[in-house]
Structure 1
Amino acid sequence: MSQNDDAPPMEAQRYEDGSISYPTHPRSLGGAEAVETIDLSEHTAEVITWTESTATPPGVRQPNTIAIVEFDVDGESVRAIGQVVEDADVEIGDEVEPVYAEELRDPDVGIKEPESQEWDGYRFEPTQ
């Protein structure tokens, strides 16, 4: 589903016990070892809940809509939290897809050195 073919994957991890986690971890909550990487950007998700922040950290747009979404990957539930694309309205139950963003916040604003971390990631965009 990712609209940018050069985008990195939105990696989740499947474990020996069948569970899936996002973000990835070396082992599942039950201690099972990882067996497969799954790219969540190839899937759609359902909005579980959302909120709009009007007092955001330096470099983050205002207002900033954040959603908790749930992917269904082969019958396994995988939840993620992230920004909603700018100027999009979402409601509980809406279908969204991950969309790659080169900058989730302005790296030149705030106390962190721009080279100290990654600034890209995924936002969620309604499919309709």
Structure 2
Amino acid sequence: MSDENENANAMEASRYEDGSISYPGHPLGPDGSEPVETIDLSEYTATVVTWTTSTATPPGVRAPNHLAIVEFDVDGEPVRAIGQLTTDEIESGDEVRPVYVEELRDPEAGIKEPASQDWDGYRFEPV
């Protein structure tokens, strides 16, 4: 995969002048400054803070759907994210890594035009 394609699938967070990091990135940080750097969180591992299983999922989302809040440590700065898990065999405190998935939901499900329902992203997999 070329660098261009890798960047297209980055799990992109933003660092601001005050050192804080936001995922997803925002146009302005907590101190009101614009981002000074982007960070690809897919290059890091994270710790599961908490997790749950949803059995009442939106159209096209797998059921049951295992979700977690995870925390990355990026140069001593904590960054939290929420996302699907690859398994329900997980405990709070486990180490996970982000894995890219082309379809987090079935674009044919639901009432919207399928082309508008492309939804790629990351799931968290135990290390």
TM-score, shorter chain, exceeding 0.5 = yes
Tell me the number of residue pairs that the alignment of Structure 1 and Structure 2 aligns: 123
Q: Which runs of 5+ in 1 are unaligned?
A: none
Residues 107, 117 of structure 2: 8 Å contact kept:
no
Q: What is the rounded CA distance, in whole Å, between the counterparts of 1:112 and 1:48 in structure 2?
A: 34
Shift of 1:67: 0.1
- After superposition, residues 1-128 of structure 1 pair within 5 angstroms as 8-85=9-86, 87-127=87-127
> 2:107 touches 2:118 (CA, 8 Å); kept in 1?
no
* Aligned residue type for 1:67: A
From the superposition, tell whether residues 34 and 5 of structure 1 become closer, same or farther in structure 2 (CA, over 3 Å): closer
- Confirm or deny: 8 A CA contact 1:88 1:126 kept in the other structure: no
The alignment's TM-score, normalised by the length of structure 2, stands at 0.91
Moved over 6 A (4+): none
Q: Percent identity?
A: 72
Whose relative contact order is higher, 1 or 2, with alpha carbons under 8 Å and at least 6 apart?
1
In the alignment, the residues of structure 2 paired with residue 25 and residue 34 of structure 1 have an alpha-carbon distance, to the nearest angstrom, of 8
Unaligned runs of 5+ in 2: none
Give the TM-score taking structure 1 as reference length.
0.90
Output the aligned Cα RMSD.
1.7
Q: Which has the higher helix share?
A: 2
